[in-house]
Amino acid sequence: MRGQWYIVAAVLFSFSLLTLFNIFNSYSRIDYTSVLKNDEDLIFPNLVEELNKTVENSENIKNLNADVGDLLEMAENSLSGKGYFINYNFTVVSNRVDYNLTIGGINMLVKN
């Protein structure tokens, strides 16, 4: 009769260790899908691509200055609604745009 209690105690002890291990293991997991859910890795390259398309499709220097300003203002309004901040300044020099761009959020900060 005493041997059965040792087996029951060993099973309960094993079960409690397994449960404790699973609890601590769940805290150490890294969620790699959070970047994909927020598309944080695509925000900056997409904005740079749109800036390049705007430069290509603009008619003249006056329109280029206004078009780039509108694009960056629209991006700022869109990103601020999602919890990101954007800081930019740009100059238009003969059909070319020189810009400094910073996009940041809780988990990221990208500077150009």
Using a cut of 0.75, tell me whether the model's pTM lies above it.
Answer: no
Q: What is the pLDDT of residues 32-80, one digit of tens each?
A: 776 666 677 788 899 989 998 988 888 777 788 888 889 999 999 988 8
pLDDT band at 29 (very low <50, low <70, confident <90, very high): confident
Extents of the domains making up the chain: 1-30, 34-111
Q: What is the pLDDT of residues 73-101, one digit of tens each?
A: 999 998 888 888 888 888 888 778 888 88
101 C-beta neighbours (distance < 10 Å), count: 18
